[in-house]
Amino acid sequence: MEQIKEVHRSHRRLHVEDKLSGRAAYGADLRRSDLMYAKGVSPGCAAGRIEEIDVSACLAVPGVAAVYTARDLPGHNGFGLFTDDEPILARDEVKFAGDVAALVVAESRQAAEEGGRRIRFSIAPVKPLLSVEEALASPRRIHPGYAGNICADKRVVKGNAAAALERADVVVEETYHTSWVEHAYLEPEVMSVLPMEGGRLEIRGAMQHPFYMRQVVCEALALPESQVVVHPDVLGGSFGGKVEISGAMAARAALAALRLGRPVLYVLSREESVAQSHKRHGIRFHVRLGASREGTLEALEVRALMDAGAYVNESPIVSWKTVTCGPGPYVLPHVSYRNTAVLTNNMVCGAMRGFGTPQAIFAMESAMNELAQRLGMSPTELRRKNFLHEGDATATSHVLRDHAVSIAGVMERAARALGFDEKFARYSRIQEGPLRRGVGVACSIRGVSFGADSEDTGRARIVPQADGTVEFMCPMMEMGQGAETVLSQICADALGLPLERVRRLQPETDRSPDTGAAGASRGTFIGGNAILQAAAALKGQIAACLGAEPVDFSQGQVLVGDRKLSWEELYRELCARGKTPDAAAAYTVPLMPWDEEHCQGDAFISYTYSCHAAEVEVDTQTGQVRVLRMTACHDAGRIVNPQMAAGQVYGGMAMGLGMALMEEVEADPRSGVIRTDNYDTYLLPTALDACPFCVEFLEHPDASSPFGAKSLGEPAMEPAPAAILGAVNHALGSAGAVRRMPADLETVFFAAHPEWRGEKE
């Protein structure tokens, strides 16, 4: 009888019917007769000392029950997954326009809103530092512990890039800019807190990391962890944005629920969400890329400046990912890549799909295109000449020996699907009329899991049931990426069971083991490996109890020595011996050789290789760009669920289209207040902007990964913006026509008509 195999099959997403039918319960769907409503209130200025918060008029509003400020917090007033320097409630000063300094709690949303409008803040204003240059030059420190307002300074140093660039035959030296980007999830942030018997609190809502929610609440309210339980609701999108801010909201709402003894619902409006949430970092890259006349890369030097915003948050992690993955999948004998994160009084920047790499890929791939043009080569010809292969060393000197280094094959498939080489030659000839076409290609190397700068551990628990089914816990949050389905498929194959006999319990802190946040391209890899470890632990438990080895799972049965037991029989026999089958285990990424000062060594345990290609049409009379077609190929090891994986890439390409052509958070240059605070001013791609997408996978199962499956969530998006910008520049006739994202109407128009740029300025 053929072995049951659930991995590598296109199963329908679990519980999709609930979302399609509207039965799924999201955080804002909470309805209770005793519910109270919370609203966070910001002073609305980017920098200043808080001298007084007058809440008297607020408390006079009918229905307003209480107003809380930082002085009401009994514990630690700070949040942030890696650096907890952002206040839950601003106490003595505000550092950006989204700081929340007071929480109004009322019997109705309307009363909370009206109460919030009546709070009066007395602020001694301070001139905000609203650019990286201002912040670096100013003697004022936004945070006392960071000299020069520098909160991270990461660098890769390999060989001697400066000397190699002096010797290089051809050097491209240019500057590339990217801007702030909003996560733009459909569901705004929402948290609710419900008092329980015995003084316990239940936290619900939209979140990526339930255990982090518990940590923030317990530290802020000086509570033991046993007094707080977290039950996440269905999550309506995140992309990295619902980690930290959800923790702050949970702590504020928990303070109110604890004081009032009533359940509290806290939902942000879209404008509040945009003002308060963290953004994708805007980064400026100054790139020097040198090569021989034959096109062999010799050296890369990058100096990047990153606006971190008002709090450190995850900027050190983002900076690290930028320098380790930014040089791309190329052989580079000499590298000097430095990314400096600078604190300003702008919006806080943090985790967003890619952790700084979409920006870095845009800079590197744009420089590669400009170099190819200088050398008289096509973009694919230059890349073919310089790709990494097995046995080569990355920019961090990681010698690639333990997995298939497949970027060359990945690019060939993506380029072939678009007809890239033929179209590049055709569109490079003089095009008549205002409509011009172009093609672009971009490649990436993405490290699997957190990487050498952070310990990464995942945990799982498997509990067989009396009816022959198996429940398991691995609390990687389902954000729409398909984690629930993919982890269930891995668990089913680990136990030799069909998918319908495996049930994943929803993440909650009372029963689930802490396995970290869903993010950083770690869900399938870390969660899947933890499940395999738990399955191995279950085998050991069975062997120890029944006194027989080996133990194996196959075809819905448990093989114990020379016996074959059904799962029902196994459960009964273990119970008869006084044992309850229940196995938990952890998987930790092995320590790798790493020199943090120079970022040299094995940066990641393995890598995902990706390439996107795009074809566009540019109207030179209006600056409008129409994406005609996009193709992609990824080697993410064995693909657990091909249909859902393709969906990930479709979404990644659509997100990349927005970042490339229209998405930009704009702030007032004098006040730092965000202007694009809703989707009528913050432009997003719609179905009318989408184009035909073609997705292929080049599968090389990875030895370190569960059933060979590596990461895909972030690689699915990373190369897309660079591919589109490359195509726009090709259509405009110069690889360096546009060196900033987004390439909006005005930017493209003036790139097509540089003779009119002076009138604009």
In tens, the pLDDT along 329-340 reads 999 999 999 999
Q: For residue 156, which phi and psi values (nearest 5 degrees)?
A: -105, 125
AA identity, residue 680: D
**Helix (H) or strand (E) run with residue 211 in it:** helix 210-221
Mean pLDDT of the chain: 95
| Selection from 472, 465, 470 nearest residue 515 by Cα | 472
pLDDT of residue 133 exceeding 50, the answer is yes
Q: pLDDT, tens digit, for every residue of 702-724?
A: 999 999 999 899 999 999 999 99
Q: Taking a C-beta distance cutoff of 8 angstroms, is the pair 434, 621 a contact?
A: yes
Which residue matches tokens 């912040």? 135
pLDDT of residue 759 exceeding 60, the answer is no
Residues 6+ apart with CB under 8 A from 3: 496, 554, 555
d(CA 445, CA 598): 19
Beta-carbon count within 10 A of 466 CB: 11
CA angle 403, 404, 410 (to 5 degrees): 140
Quote the pLDDT of residue 590: 92
Quote the pLDDT of residue 758: 60
Residues 6+ apart with CB under 8 A from 441: 365, 379, 380, 383, 411, 414, 415, 420, 611, 612, 613, 614, 723, 726
Query: What integer is the mean pLDDT of 73-83?
Result: 93
Quote the pLDDT of residue 580: 85
Q: What tokens does 199 get?
A: 């003084």
Which residue matches tokens 């109890």? 545
Percent of the chain residues topping a pLDDT of 90: 89
Q: What is the C-alpha radius of gyration for the chain, rounded to an integer number of angstroms?
A: 27
Q: How confident is the model at residue 658 (pLDDT cuts 50, 70, 90)?
A: very high
* Sequence-separated contacts (24+) of 677-681 with Cβ below 8 Å: 677/270, 677/271, 677/274, 677/275, 678/270, 678/271, 678/274, 679/184, 679/270
pLDDT of residue 18 exceeding 70, the answer is yes
Quote the pLDDT of residue 523: 86
Quote the pLDDT of residue 275: 96
Q: pLDDT, tens digit, for every residue of 222-247?
A: 999 999 999 999 999 999 999 899 99
Beta-carbon count within 10 A of 75 CB: 16
Phi-psi sector, 606: left (phi>0), alpha (psi -120 to 50), beta: beta
pLDDT of residue 1 exceeding 60, the answer is no
Q: pLDDT, tens digit, for every residue of 445-482?
A: 999 988 887 888 999 999 999 999 999 999 888 888 88
Quote the pLDDT of residue 522: 85
Q: Which of 28-42, 256-270, 509-523, 728-742 has the lowest mean pLDDT?
A: 509-523
Strands 201-205 vs 190-195: parallel, antiparallel or unpaired: antiparallel
Beta-carbon count within 10 A of 703 CB: 10
Q: pLDDT, tens digit, for every residue of 345-394?
A: 999 999 999 999 999 999 999 999 999 999 999 999 999 999 999 999 99
pLDDT of residue 510 exceeding 90, the answer is no
Q: Which of 287-296, 510-519, 662-671 has the lowest mean pLDDT?
A: 510-519
pLDDT of residue 742 exceeding 90, the answer is yes
pLDDT of residue 756 exceeding 90, the answer is no
Residues 6+ apart with CB under 8 A from 761: none
pLDDT of residue 761 exceeding 50, the answer is no
Quote the pLDDT of residue 287: 98
**DSSP class of 404:** -
End-to-end CA distance of the chain: 74
The strand pairing partners of 122, in sequence order, are 52
Residue 560 Cα to chain centre, angstroms: 43
Q: For residue 321, which phi and psi values (nearest 5 degrees)?
A: -65, -35
pLDDT of residue 760 exceeding 60, the answer is no
